[in-house]
Every structure is written in C-alpha cells, then in structure tokens.
C-alpha cells in the first residue's frame, strides 16, 4: 500500500518586501529553527546591497542574482545496459530556484573573514553581475550537460 501524499505547505510572503522567493530564501538560510536570526542575516544583506549598489533596489538585485544563478540544463546519471550515462536534461523551474538559492548560500558560507550578511550581499551582487563562484558552478554544470549531449536520446 502506498503512503498518503503529503500536503504541500504554503509559505506566506515576507513581511517587509512581500516576496515569496525572499521568504523561501530566509527559510534556506535558517539553521536550527532560528528564523529571527535568518531574517536578520538576509535583511542585513539587503541593507548592504542598498549601500554598495546605490543605483538599484536590493530586491531587484536579489531577483537578478537568483535568475542568473539558476542552471537551465543539468546532467542526471542513468544506468542502461550495465553502463552509467550522464544524461543531460532541462531543469524544472522549482529545482532551478532551489539550486540557485543553495549555491548562493554555499558560496557565502564558504567565505571567511566577515559577517554572514556581508558575505551574502557580496555573493548576491556578484551573481547579479554574472560573476563569482555561483556563476562558475552554473557554467560547469552547463559544460557537463553540453559535453554529454550525445546521450540525450537516453532521456526519459
């Protein structure tokens, strides 16, 4: 007998900027259920963006960074006839958003020497300008997909 399908929780948009994507990002930043700390980090990063990129709205920078960081293609391992093939496939919109958020956070957490909000602001600005660690990772994923185009007929 199958398990019952779980209901998808609907999250509310954040209170300050009224954005669902920003609230999801806050949830990604959160550790050990400390949402207030995660909010301080994210809103601090947005304040840093406002100071550094004086011409732009910080939400525009955030949305641009998420859009630029999300991969369009990725490879997925598929076993056929005893051999494993890296099959390129298109990334669904939800996964693209999740990967972009995850990669931005990983890059910010990997840096050392300043507060998390400053590191996060730097990564968001870099991703918005199509540079930085996140964009390198996205390009590597695209190169892998491009190199394995010959196995695209194995896609399911």
- The CA distances from residue 13 to 8, 22, 49, 120, 127, in Å, are 16, 8, 20, 20, 23
Reported as a single tens digit per residue, the pLDDT across 15-72 is 999 999 999 999 999 999 999 999 999 999 999 999 998 767 999 999 999 999 999 9
Does 4 score more than 90 pLDDT?
yes
Q: What are the structural domain ranges in the chain?
A: 20-154
* Chain centre to alpha carbon of residue 53: 21
Q: Are 131 and 100 contacting, i.e. CB atoms less than 8 angstroms apart?
A: no
- Model pTM score: 0.90
Fold of 20-154: Ribosomal Protein S7 (1.10.455)
């Amino acid at each position: 007998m199958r398990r019952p399908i779980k209901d998808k929780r609907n999250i509310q948009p954040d209170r300050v900027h009224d954005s669902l994507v920003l609230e999801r990002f806050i949830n990604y930043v959160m550790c050990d259920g400390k949402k207030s700390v995660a909010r301080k980090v994210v809103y601090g990063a947005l304040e840093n963006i406002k100071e550094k990129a004086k011409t732009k709205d910080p939400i525009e920078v955030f949305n641009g960074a998420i859009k630029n960081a999300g991969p369009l293609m990725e490879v997925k391992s598929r076993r056929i006839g005893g051999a494993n093939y890296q099959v390129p496939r298109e990334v669904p919109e939800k996964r693209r958003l999740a990967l972009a958020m995850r990669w931005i956070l990983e890059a910010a957490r990997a840096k050392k020497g300043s507060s998390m909000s400053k590191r996060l602001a730097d990564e968001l600005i870099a991703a918005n300008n199509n540079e930085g660690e996140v964009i390198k990772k996205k390009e590597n994923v695209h190169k892998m997909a491009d190199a394995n185009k010959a196995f695209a007929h194995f896609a399911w």
